[in-house]
Each structure stands twice: as C-alpha cells, then as structure tokens.
Amino acid sequence: MLDRSFLKAGHTPTLLSAFFYFDLSFMVWVILGPLGVAISKSFHLDPAQKGLMVATPLLAGAFLRLVFGVMVDHIGPKLTGVIGQLIVLAGLGLAWFLGVHSYNQVLILACVLGVAGASFAVALPLASRWYPPEHQGLALGIAGAGNSGTALAALFAPSLAKTFGWNNVIGMAALPLLVAFVVYLIFAKDAPNRPAPKRFAEYLGVLKTADAWWLMFLYGVTFGGFSGLASSLTIYFAGEYGLDPVVAGFFTAACVFFGSAVRPVGGAVADRIGGVRTLMSVYALAACALAVASFHQAGPAAALAVILVAMGALGAGNGAVFQLAPQRFRAEIGVITGLVGAMGGVGGFYLATTLGFAKKATGSYQPGFLGFAALALVALAALAALRSHWRARWPQIAGAQAATVRV
C-alpha cells in the first residue's frame, strides 16, 4: 500500500503526528466505557444510566467536531489541535485532582472528553491537505486509524482501575496525551495549500448540498457503529457473558484493534475500486454481523468472533467514506470533515444509548443491535440508488481533477 509515489506525495511527519494525536485523543474520548463497570459500582447505575454515561462523550464530540471544523478552516488545523489538546489535558488534571464524586459529575467529565473526540475534525484535514486525490483514501485511512486509541483504553483502563482506582486512571490518562502533545507541536505542519477562510454563511452552504447529507448519514452508520460498540463492549461482555472487567477489556481491545487496523485497508481498497462499491460490501457484512450479535451466543468466544466481523466491516467503511468525502468537497474539507465526523458521533450516541435502554426495558440488547443493523441496510439501499448519479456528476464537479475521481 505504501508505494514510493505515496511517500513522495505528502508530508510523512505530519501524517504520523496526526495519527498519534488522534490515537491518544480517542483513547481518552472513550475511557468511560472501559471504566464503566467500576464507575457503575461506585454510583449504583442501572443499564440506561451506564448507556448514557458512555454515550455522552460521543454526543459532545459530535457537536464539538462542528466547532473544530470551522476553526480548522479559519485558524488552521495545527493551532486548532493545540487548543483542543490543552483543554483535554486541563480537564483530566482537574478531574483527578478534585475527584469525581457523583453521577452528574461523571456526565460533566464526559462532556469535557468530547473535546478529545473532536480531534477527528483536526487530524483528518491536517493530513488530507498534504495529499493529492489519488492518495486520499490511504492517507486518511492511516490518519483515521488513530481510532485504535479506543483499544488502548479498553486494554489498560480496567486493570489499572483495579489496582489504583478508576479516578486515578483519569489522571494517568493525561500522561501519554502530554507526550502526543509534544510530538504534535514539533512535527505537525499545516499544508502550504491551505484554502482561504470562509464566511459562516458559506459553511451553511455545504448543508444545502444533498451529497453532504448522504456522506453524513453513511459515516453515521460506519463510525457510529464502531464508536458506539467501542464504548459499550466492556460493559456488554462483562454483563452479558459474566467476564471479569479486565478480560472484558481485552475482548473489547481485540475488537477495536481489528476495526482500526482495517480502516486504512478500506481506504486503500476504495482508492482502487471506488468508495461506493467498497461501502456496499461493508454495509451488507455489518448488517449480517450485527443481526447475529443480537442473539445470545453459545459463549464469550463465539460472541467475540461475531463482534470482530462487525467491527472489521465498520472499520473498513470508515476508511471508504473518507475516500469519497475529499473528492466531492476538497475545497471545504475542514467543514465537511466536521459535519461528517459529527454525524459519526451522533450515530455512536444512538447505538450506545439504545443498547442501554433496550437492556433496561427488555432485559436484552437485541433491539439495539437489530435497530442498527436496519440502519446499515438503509445505507446499502441508498448507495445502490446514488451510485450512478455520483459517478456521472462528481467528475464534472472536480473539473481539471476529474481523471483522479474514483467513486
């Protein structure tokens, strides 16, 4: 995948810095999920409260991605990332120093963690602006693979919470984030071809385009499914299959690592065969896997296998959506990244909360899984209807770069 033309086309230090910043930001964005079992014991939470707790950072991150998307276009991605990282570092430090003493304070912390989730709207434009259209899928796949940070949280947070207490883990999370901040300051650079800032009315103009709404919906399903599951799986494996929280964290980490690892693959495949064709396969596979996951499996190993398939499909889909987005909205990549990324957060909030509410209302996670599987099928049907129109229209919009457009 990393051929010589790709390495010469962009700026590798910025690409890797964007990945590292994104990776560790995502680690803290979803940290309440792996800590959810310990936190729920401290405050005696029911399934709906646990679902809301892990979903709130996703919704806060969704809103803040819009804000950061506008900031990226006005002050540049590097400075926007610096501001975001300082806010998260301060929030983690205060939460550790003052302590978190109630469920309401947990939700306040969850909103602060949403700033880390907004890193998506910074890291992807930071990388994207360095690369030509023919390498967008792979470049954004590598930068976007930073969502593997959710696996780091699942891998380490439960065991650290057992040893040091979950509130101390909140403070510990700031340490690797500080390292990422220093790396980002030294190596990340804004691309020289940064577009001129736009007026606010011009940002709203993107929302008048149907293609923007379709891309938002498509990412709401792929990333929404990925982030919603990443936030919920530790609680799900521990509650549904009786696993120790540490083991449940290992299971979650395996799912997230796999889903993150195939994101660049999804982007690279989309570069070769087109994003639409890649996504149609992704949605079909994800819908099947989520439907199977809705039934109680014979054991935790079987459940892990099914969730791995779902997370792999959704991870590949994340890369494929962002192979499409820069081709249609290259001049507005900052704001479209914010909008599309925001809908991904909304999708994650929807899945995480519906899983919690379904468990509380029916005693089963099945309605939540089946509802999201249905959304994947709707996305598949939409792509089947849009494919011909996009392939005919997008090269015309691209103008001189039409030959590089691969839908």
pLDDT at residue 406 greater than cutoff 80: no
Spatial distance between the Cα atoms of 58 and 352, rounded to a whole number of angstroms: 9
Spatial distance between the Cα atoms of 332 and 73, rounded to a whole number of angstroms: 8
**Mean of the pLDDT values across residues 228-236?**
94
**Mean of the pLDDT values across residues 234-240?**
94
Give the range among 35-39, 200-204, 348-352 with minimum mean pLDDT: 200-204
Q: How many residues make up the chain in this entry? A: 407
pLDDT at 5: 66
Q: Read off the pTM.
A: 0.84
Task: Give me the half-sphere count of Cα atoms (radius 13 Å) on the Cβ side of residue 110.
Answer: 26
How is residue 325 written in tokens?
A: 């987005």
Residue recorded with tokens 């602006």: 129
Spatial distance between the Cα atoms of 345 and 240, rounded to a whole number of angstroms: 25
The burial class, CB within 10 Å (0-12 / 13-18 / 19+), for 49 is middle
pLDDT at 326: 81
State which of 277-281, 392-396, 402-406 shows the largest mean pLDDT: 277-281
Greatest alpha-carbon span in the chain: 60
pLDDT at 400: 46
The counts of H helices and E strands in the chain are 18, 0
How is residue 193 written in tokens?
A: 């071809």
State which of 7-11, 127-131, 302-306, 389-393 shows the largest mean pLDDT: 302-306
Question: Would residue 71 be called left, alpha or beta, if left means φ above 0 and alpha means ψ between -120 and 50 degrees?
Answer: alpha
User: In this structure, which amino acid lies at residue 38?
Assistant: A
Give pLDDT tens digits for 138-188.
787 788 777 778 889 999 999 999 999 999 999 999 999 999 999 999 999
**Mean of the pLDDT values across residues 87-114?**
97
pLDDT at 185: 95
**Mean of the pLDDT values across residues 270-291?**
94
Give the range among 37-46, 115-124, 172-181 with minimum mean pLDDT: 115-124
Which fold does the domain 13-189+203-395 belong to in CATH? Growth Hormone; Chain: A; (1.20.1250)
Spatial distance between the Cα atoms of 133 and 331, rounded to a whole number of angstroms: 12
Spatial distance between the Cα atoms of 38 and 13, rounded to a whole number of angstroms: 38
Give pLDDT tens digits for 60-84.
999 998 888 888 888 999 999 999 9
pLDDT-based confidence at 404, cuts 50/70/90? Answer: low
Give the range among 95-109, 155-169, 326-340, 383-397 with minimum mean pLDDT: 326-340
pLDDT at 336: 80
What are the C-alpha distances in Å from 337 to residues 55, 62, 300? 21, 11, 36
Q: Report the share of the chain in percent with pLDDT over 70.
A: 94
pLDDT at residue 85 greater than cutoff 70: yes
Closest CA to 226 of 284, 159, 309: 309
**Mean of the pLDDT values across residues 117-124?**
88
Closest CA to 170 of 55, 32, 38, 24: 32
Mean pLDDT of the chain: 90
Domain ranges, ordered by start, for the chain:
13-189+203-395
Give pLDDT tens digits for 307-353.
999 999 999 998 899 888 888 887 777 678 778 888 998 999 999 99
pLDDT at residue 223 greater than cutoff 70: yes
pLDDT at residue 295 greater than cutoff 90: yes
